Structure formats: C-alpha cells, structure tokens
Structure 1
Amino acid sequence: MRLRNTESNKWVNIALYIGSMLLMMEWVLPLEQVTDTGGTHLFLIYIVFCFALTLFYLPTWLTPILKLTGLLVFLKFIFYESSFFSILWVGELFTDLQLSIQAVFSQSWVELTPVFRTFLFLVLLWMMSYLLYYWLVVVKRPFSFILITFIYITALDTFTLYEAQFAIVRVFIISALILVLANLHRMMDQENLKVPNPRRMAKFVAPMILVIMVSAAIGYVAPKFEPQWPDPVSFIQAASQDGFGSGSGSGEGLNRVGYGEHDDRLGGGFIMDDTTVFYASADSPEYWKVETKDVYTGHGWVRKDEGEPTTNESGHFPQISNYGENVERNETEAELQFVEPGNLNKLPYLYGTETVEASVEGVSFKYNHMTGELVSLVNGEQELIDDSYFLEAERPDFPRDQMKQVPAKHEENDEIAERYLQLPDDLPERISDLAEEIVEDVEDNRFDYAMAIEDYFDENDFEYATTDVAIPDDDEDYVEQFLFDTQRGYCDNYSTSMVVLLRSLDIPARWAKGFTGGESVFQQDALPDDGGNIFEVQNNNAHSWVEVYFPDVGWVPFEPTVGFNNQADFSTEESSEDSLDEEMEDDPLEQPDDLEQPDVDDQLDDGSGESEEDTALVGSDDSNFSMLYFTAILIGVFLISWLMYRSRNQMVANWKQQKLKRKPSSKNITNSYQFLLKLLAKEGYQFQSGETLREFALKVDQTLGNKQMSQLTHYYERFVYREEDLQSENEQFYQLWRNLTKDILSK
C-alpha cells in the first residue's frame, strides 16, 4: 500500500489521504463521551501512525510489520507496566487474548477482556486505513465514506450527549475539500489533461478553499431556526412504551398533539400536527372548552365520578352559563364545521354558551354539568355530524373588583371543597411551601392569589417546549418534577401545576381542556357564506388551562402557560372612557407620553430592532478552531451583517411580531401600527397631511384588494384612542397586522 504515482498527481493523492485521515479521527473523537472508552488520544496517535506509514516509500512487506509492532506497543503502553523488553507483559497479553478467543467461541461476550476489545479496535483502525486508501486514492470515490461520516456524527448528536456543532463544521470543510480534489483529478484523467505543478494547483484550489471556508462560516454564525421536527428520542421512547398513535396524554413517552381521552399519565413530548379539526365563525378567537377533570393523582387527571348528563332535544342548556347575577353578559354567536375531528367526539363550546343547534334534523344534545361535556346524539348515539353547529352564547364579563373581595381561604360548601380541593396524600410538602412563598407578599384575596400563581411561571424563566419534555418515574410527582427539576414543558405542565398550587392554598380549582381560538383564515370551503372572522382550529391548538371557583361569580378561567394569554374578560368599576387630549384627537398619529417608544426609522437604519438572542451563535467555545476557522468566521460575520442590512425590514417585522404576540400592550400595538405605516410609505402609500387614519386605510384597502387595513385601523383606534380593554381581540389585531406586513414585504 503506497502512494507511488507520477510526480504530477502525487500531491493530490497525499491531500486526499490526509483528508481521509482527518475524517477517520472524527469517528474516534466522540468515543470518550458516548462510551466508557478512555485515552482516545492514543487511538488518534495510532491512526496518524498507520496513515503516515503509507506516505513513505517503504517495501510492501515492511509496512504491516511496522503497523503490528505499533499495535503491540500501544497495548503495552495502555495495559502493562513492566518494561517493553520484558517477557512478562507478552505472556500476559497472550493469556488475555487466549481467554477472550475462548469466550468468543462460547459466545460469552461479557467475558471479553479490555485488552482484547482494544486489540480488535486497533486492528479495525488498521484495516480502515487500507480501505480509505483504496476508496479515496485509488478509485477516487470518497462520497460514500463522507455520507456515512455525516450520518454517524448526526446520529451521535441526536441520540447521545455528544455536541456535534463543531464536528459538523469540521466534517463539512474536510469533505468539501476532498470532493473538490477527487473530482478535479478524475476530470483530468478523463480528459487526459496534465496536472499542473503544486504552485499552479494551489492557485487553482485556493478560490475553492475560500468559498468552502466562507460557506462553513456563514452556516455556523447564521441564526438558526428552532427544530422543525420532533425529538426522535421521545418518539422512540413512546413507541417502545405505549406504541404509536396512542393519543394525547395516554401515558409515558410521546403524546401526539390533539384532543385525547386519557389524561391519567401526563408527561413527555408530542408531535405537532396541523390537521384541521374544525372551522369556526366567531367574533374573535376564543377558547373552545371541551371538558374538565377534578382528581389529581400525582401523575395526571381522572374523575371522581362521571355525573348525570341532561338530554335536551332543543339544545338549550342555561346551566353551561351558570354565573352569578353580577356577571355581565355580551351576546355572541358562533358556527362550527368539523373537518377531521379524529379522537374528538364532543362539541367544543364558548364560555357562556346557552344554546346549541344542528343544521340538520334528528340531532339532540346532552350536557354533563359535572364534567362540562357537551355532546350531540344521532339516533341516540354520540356522534359529530358533518354539517354545521350553531352556538348562541352570553359571553361573561367577570367582575374583577368583586372577585378581589373573596378571601383566599373562603369557606366553601361541602360539594365544592370535597371535589375541588382534593390533593394526593403523598403530595410533596415543598409544593405547598412554594405556593405559600408565591403569595407571601400578595393581598389576601382569591383573585390576587390566582394572578400571582399565573404570573409566577412567566417571571421565573420557565420554558415552553413540546419536545424533550421529562417523563416522571412511577415514584415521582408530575408537578414536583416540573416546578423544581425541569421547569420545561407545555400547557399540561403549567395548568396542572397551577391547579395543585391553588388547591394547596385551599382555593378550589379544576383542570379544563379544549382548544385555543385558532388562526384567522380568509380562504376556506367549510363556511363560505360567513364572510370574515373565520378561524381554523387544528390539532396544534389542543390546550389545557385552569378554572378557579369564586362564590357568587362561578368558574373563572386562568391561563398560566408561558406564551399564552387569558382570553377571559375582566371588568372593573373604573371608567374606561378616558381618552387622549384634544391635541391628540387633532393628530391621529400622535401618542400620549406614556405610550412613547423609539422611532421606527432609527431601528430600520441601524438594525437595532434585531434581538441579540436571534443572532447569537450556537456555541461560544471556539477553542477548537484554528486561525483559519477564525478568519473564515470573520468573513462570514461580514457577509451576514451585509445580508442583515439588506433584509432589515423583515427582521424588524419579525421582532415586532414576537413582541406583539407575547405582550399585546397599548405601547406595542401603537409601535407595530406605526411600523406598518412606515412600510406602506416606503411602498408609495404615503399618509397625507390632513388625512384621517380611516381615509388612509380605505385607500390602502382599495389598492390591496381587501379590507384588512380598515379592520386593523378600527382595532387600533379602539385600543389606543379609546383605551378600551379589548384583551379578547388581541389575537385578531395580531393576525391582521401580520398578514398586512407579510403582504407588503413580499412585494
């Protein structure tokens, strides 16, 4: 095995062989982290030794002798302390090999000695050096080995603790250089071209090296999207424990997103599923309730009893809207059209629903006041029809001031206390201690206690995540693990934890589940005659939240999950008629002092609207990089900065979109609306002096061919100038703003 070739292509072969050696090292580097193998640097030395022997013009018979001698030297250095020239270690070596060979024949694999396993691994490295010589130098076909190397590195990064971000960059650079040289040499052989001397070859290859380095640097420093696929580890765990397609909350492992019957074993991640469950025509995106559960087991939710449902052919159930007389109501209507309900066999409904009807005859309805379940019956069987359902509701406006008058430990009637203050006997004491700590400095009333616990998760760096979510052991409490160990999860983790914390403070609470309001859509076939305000509710919108009991008010929803907003309406006795002064009314674009924000032009010019987190590097430890990598990164940073400057409008839009979704305050709403005006001005839609916002919006709508700008302006005036509390309509404003911004930037 030698690199004896003509002088013209000798240097190409050497470069290919060195590249194969570097790729081979990438196979060995992770072993110390993913196995109990120690001293991996010694294996790297042996790889260099084997590859180096090939680079020298040695006789064919001498090379294997030297490699075998090197193998024995390494075994002696690792396992034996006696002198190299002592016969003792040789005898011990042969004894170990003999015992291990006997274990192989008897298939007693656990009895293989470390010496024998190391011997086999060194022989494997020896053989690989020969195979790589043949693949890369003789036949110039390196792609298969490169592909296998990428698969190996990515598999280790996915299924083990090995962090491969630097390894991927190194493998990419080395592989790209190998492919360039291999294809260049093959092309010259096919065309019978003379390979240039090393100096000219360097001039030819240098631009390719520069392109590869810059590409690698850009790939490394560029902002990364969150994982678009679910964690395969969680998926495999779920497959091995519960099988596939077990539904939401069916046990340990993976929970497919969407509505499911079984919640007795919560935990683990789930797969995002954008299958449409139903379309809804409603005034605004609101939570769709399906059911409640009352018994926390330490691992999930079950029911104390199923209650006695009430059947009504007319579909009139005033007990759904069983709120106190002091709760104001707002009439609203909704229409549902199911598409692919999947495991869902119950009717989602709005808070305050009183009447439900079907668009076809022969459908009756049944409501269970104890479980909150509303179902439709066809010929006496529980079934969802393919036609529409119509809902009439009296949306509640919960009185904040009256709820604050309820003491935190108000004495409840026996039915409420027995069912909705239940906790497991073995609930860890530190959960109750944490609840007391959260409300230590809060006014002693039920509403403020609930708000303090709702805000606790957002204020203490809890992370919303749907993958890599922990699965509690049989002897581990689900809430305790989330609150004190992981602080990472999705709605089930947050809502269950809030219910348990409330109950530990003697506040009645229960677990509710259903769907969030969904996304506004403008083109769909399910409800073609309903015009605007059509919302698509997918399996991704399956959700759980909390309901807290207030005497003389009823069950009030709360939303503890990070990144979600409570869509319930809370009213106060304070006047909401305060508006801006006359000068503000004269100039519709001027803002009050307390709503002042930085000028959008400044953000567009200097790019300050981009969050540092969005452009942070994946890792910060660059000790593994040589000066060449560092230079490549500098070039990449320059190119990225140039690209960021070119796409600054899009980045600022993304930044404002995130702020608007996370915290739809008056300041963020005003800021986002002004940014939209700036974008329109850059596209030629200039706001004229003396022109009202509504006139300007109508002009924009005529050009764009829709009514979105007028609708957005209507919400903006209500939010900012009238200072109305339109928390339930924040999502509608967000959707309109996002769609308009997307349309303008795409032009």
Structure 2
Amino acid sequence: MRLKDMSSSKWVGIALYIGSMLLLMEWVLPLGQVTDTGGTHLFIIYIVFCFVISLIQLPMWIAPFIKLAGLMFLLNYIFYEPSFFSLAWLGELLVDLQLSTQALLGQSWIELTPVFRTLLFLILLWMMSYLLYYWFVVVKRPFSFVLLTFVYVTALDTFTLYDGNVAIVRVFIFSVLILILANLNRIVDQEKIKVPSSRTMAKWIAPMAIVVFISAAIGFAAPKFEPQWPDPVSFIQAAGQNGFGSGEGSGGVNRVGYGEHDDRLGGGFIMDDTTVFYATATSPRYWKVETKDEYTGHGWVRSDEGTPTTNESGHFPHISDYGESVERNETEAELQFIEPGHLNKIPYLYGTETVGTTVDGVSFYYNHTTGELASIINEEQDLVEEGYSLEAGRPDFPRNEMREVSVEYEESEEMPDRYLQLPDDLPERVSNLAEEIVSDVDENRYDYARAIESYFEDSGFEYATSDVAIPSDDEDYVDQFLFDTQRGYCDNYSTSMVVMLRSLDIPARWAKGFTGGERAFQQDVFPGEGSNVFEVQNNNAHSWVEVYFPEVGWVPFEPTVGFDNQANFSTGESIDDILDGDTNEDDPLEAPENDDQSDLDDLLDEGNESEEDGAVGSGGQDSNFNLLHLFAITIGTLLTIWLIYMYRSKIVASWKNQKLKRKPSAKTITNSYQFILKLLEREGYQFQSGETLREYAYNVDRMLGNKQMTELTQYYERFVYREEDLISEVDQFYQTWRQLTKQILSK
C-alpha cells in the first residue's frame, strides 16, 4: 500500500502513519511481562520493517514479497538452526505447519506449535500496518484506535503485573499529537486551504507539541490522590477462590491448578498460565503427583493415608512396581520449580526409581499407598529451589498379557478391596451403562477398559471448563455427568471411568498430576537442553485413570475428550517370534476393533524415539506431499485473489479501453466517463456540494496540471447531452480518456 499524496500534505500523512506505528508498539511491549512470549523486541523490529516498506513506497507488486521474506527470515532466526539461505529449514517449517494444521483441524488448540503461533502473530502485525494506514491516513479517523490503546494499557496495568505508568504517558503524548495532526489535516481538506509549506506547518505544530509535552510532564510529576475505588483485582481473586454463582447445581468458578481438596468436584474454572515448573524430557509425559481411592458421590477422599518410606538416597524401586513382562527404557529428567503454589510434592514420571537434588541435608519419602513423592527439609515437607533430577525406566505395557486378565476381581490378586469401593446410593443406571458399553467387547480387563475409555469421545461428550454443573447434595457427580450434562473436564471423565470400571468389578483408582506441558524454546533454566525442555503450567493440571493388572501393575488410561494417553503399549512379544510365526494361533496378533492401531504396528514402532519426540512425517511421504501441494495451491490462490484486487482498476480500465475502441457508442462513452469519475473519487477528488460537472473538471485539471478532464467533459456533454454525431471525433475522445486514465492510475 502506498502513501498517496491526496489533497493534504504528504508529510502530515507520514507523520500520522508513524504515530500509528508507535501506538501499535505499545500493544506489543507488555507481552514479555504479562505472557510467556519471549523476544518481543523482534516483533518491534518487524513492525518497524513493515511500516518502513510502506513509507518508502515500493511498487505494489514487490512490497508484499519483501514483507513476507522478512517474516520468514524472522521465523528462521527464532526457531531454526539451518541457515535462511538453505532449504533444510524450509522443510522443517513445512513439518511444523503440517503438525499445526492437523491440530487445527482436530480443534486441539494446545497442540499448535510455537512456530505456527508466531507465524499467525507476525501476519497479524503485517495486516495491522495496512489497517492503520486506512484509519490514520485515508479516512483520518484515528480516535477509535487511540481509545482502544488507552483501554488496553490501563487494563493491563490494573489486572496484571505490568506497570503502565510510563506507557500511559507515552500513549497520551502520541495520541494528542496524532489527533492534532488528523484534525488539522481534515480542516485543510474541508476548507480547501492551500497546503502550507513545511516551515509554516512546523510553526503551527511546534507550539501545540510543546504544550502537550509540558502538560504530560506536569501530570506525571504532580502529586496525586490515593485511589478512590477499591482494587478490582482483589475482588476478582477472592471470587475466583470462593466461586461465583449460587444455588444448587450452579457452577462455581475456580482457578485451575493443583489443589489438595477433591471431596467436592464440579463447577467451571478460569485458566492460569502461571509456570509451575520446567522439565527436561525427550517427549511429553504425564507427571504424576498422587492417587485417591474412595469415591463419595461428589468427589474423592482417601480411605487409607498409608505409611511413607523415607531415605536420604532418594532410591525407591517400588515406585515403579511393575511385573517382569513390562519392558523398561531407561531415561532421565530434571525439574526446576518456578511458582509451585500449593504444590509441595514432587511430580514424577511413570517408571521413576530415583530422585535426587544437589542440596545437602535433604531426605525423601515415598508413600506407596497414595503415590506421593516428597522431599524433607529441616524435618518439614517442602520443595528445594535448586530443583530435582529423576532416573526412570519408562514402561512399555504388554497388551497381550493384559488381555489375558479376567474381568472379575479375584482374591489371588492381593489387591485391597478399596479399589472396588462405590457409594451405596450410586444410581443403578451408571452400572447398567457400563455393562452396555462392554456388551460387544471381548471379555477381558484390557478391552473393557479401552471400551469405556473411548466411550466418551464416540458418544459426543463435550470438553468444557466453563458452565460446568455442580451436583446438589442429593445428586451423584458421575450420574449427573453421564446422563444430564455430558459436559465437563478431566475430573468428570476420569471419575466416571473409575466408577464404571468398579461397577464391573475391575480395580481402578483416580490419579492426578500434570500433563507433559509444551516445549519451551525461550527459557534460561536449562540452556543446553534445546527442544527437550517442557514448560508445565497450572493450565496443565490434570487427572486420569489407573487400572490394575496382575503381573503388570497399575496402568494409566486417558478418557478425557481431546487428550491422548501418553503411556507406551506393546504386544509384549518379540519381533522374531512374530516373523517366525511361532505365536499361538489361539492368541492372534490382531487387536480388537476398538484399538487405534494393530499390535503389529505398535510393535514395529516400539522404541522409535522419533514418534515419541513428536517428530512429524508419521503420515508418510504422501501426506507430506499432499500437504505441500495444498499449501502451494492455497498460497497461489490467495496471491491471485490479492493481485486481482490490487490491480482491479487497471484490469477494468484495460477492459473498458478495448470496449471503447471496438464499439464506440453513447453507452460505452457514458460508462467510460463514469469510470473516470470513480477513479478520481477514490484518489480523493470528490464532488463538492453545488459544484457543476465543468467546475469539477476544472478543479481536477488544476490539481493534475493539464486540461484533459475539461476536454473529456466537453466531449461527453456534446455526445450524450446534446446527442451530437461525434463519430469522427471518437478517436480523439478515446486518446484523451486513455491518457487521463493512465495518469490517474499512476498516482
């Protein structure tokens, strides 16, 4: 988009455009403090880059490509190691776009990659440079954006940690100067005042600028009254803790995160992106904190607090108490807590055997009954600031062996009865639904668990964090979710699955902790770990299900819609046995229909770290090829539409040019003349009230520096109004029209 010199000073337009750029920067500067966005200075650089490209008035066919090149260079600089001038980084970019496109189509918003999010934000900044040009320079109405900027800065200053004292002064100065220039520009246009010279404009503007700066300085330095209204943040925080709403079944509002009390579940929550800890891992894995065993009808409590085992070495082999059939893959992890809040236990991976820290005098305890791992400092349970290291043997759970476990609980399993406990007043339709879900499934514990796990997504249950009901005293939490609302979050899904499994006489328990988090590319906690660092926030607080299998152990399942089980499953057999055909014919390798993949596929993928690390390309070469074609077609289509839109006037002019040349008539001459009027109006040459056509033509010629509009108007009046026969002069009309059109379009 070019800054066209319409009927006002070009330098005033440039000044307004620069003012809009400074206001836009005020929107970006706070992001580094109020969000987890890093490198905000790079976004500032890109804003300046886009505005400069517009100011230097490059041709329309080249400016967008330069801005796109700048965008791609910035993405390469932030996220990729290969050089911008190599093709390797482009392949990595397409892989990231493929992952995000799949997540976008699947509405898995939290799985969008940082690259894709940054790309969208840069495109937004690019589009804002065009939008602000229209607001500030074309229509000269900057007040809306000025007001929004004031509201934005004051809201951040009120409700976040951002200190907007200096920012609000900057916005005030920029805004007043912008409004002065815009109003002056509008008066010059409306009153037909001759645009003054730059020196005269400076004499007009300088006193006003001095007054603005002095007023701002006095306002900033002058003493101020104490706040007259109470702080709204305190009220909101209190409401977030105590809950909004009243009445039975109304959903309270809580803040998401780890908490100790689960005896009354239900109600919505508000998101909290506070970072709890950073962790190193090769792939995202669930971080377990504890389990609970007794369901009350409204939530979870413990029937047995257990007896913790304490030692100073931090070695607890019975954390990962799995059978010999469970293959183990050794891995290590590190934790660094940032703002743990109410969390005073150590989250750990499945298969953890050892926990340690660099701090002296710290001992550890593990409670086998509750699954809690904690550190003891000065005889008190607490977390060390220096963080922890973990050693784990990541388990691969054998499907074939789990399918051999009968559904009913047997006393030989030596599993406490508390993992089969259910309230006496549990509605019968809950157990009836469980039996209905597994009615067409092979009768074994694993397939029963998988059937219930997939039931919620197959039946259209909705994942939601707001407007989630709380059951009244005479309602059951699970019954309400399964049959009335079918809307909720992880606590609803995991509790319902445990209850239905127990109604089928299958031992199960409720587990809670955190999901794996998101990769943290911009962090200083583990500088040498690259992309193997994950940021775990309060938003990642989660609950899931554990089912007991004899000779295997407690196996995690994930029933929540939109979440995937991050545990590893395999057939439990070696590849050699499968290829030699020595497996028992009565124990086929084919998984039941409700499995996501065949056992053979899982076995062939076993140990493939590229899949575990989230490496893309799992769709095969064809999926990448199709995505590349789709991306190219989309970009080509958008580029074609954009070119047609940007050059629509020239395209229409060329078409009318040919039509006027081939078929001169009253209609074609009228259409051609009307087209000239539209072009002039779009360039700022508008009819004034009471102005005749000849007067308008005279004023246009005076501004264009020729007499072509007057000549064209005379031909038009003679041919259309007087109906004179001007066939012999059509060529001259055509030449004048063509020259005038070319001059206007070249402005």
TM norm structure 2:
0.47
TM norm structure 1:
0.47
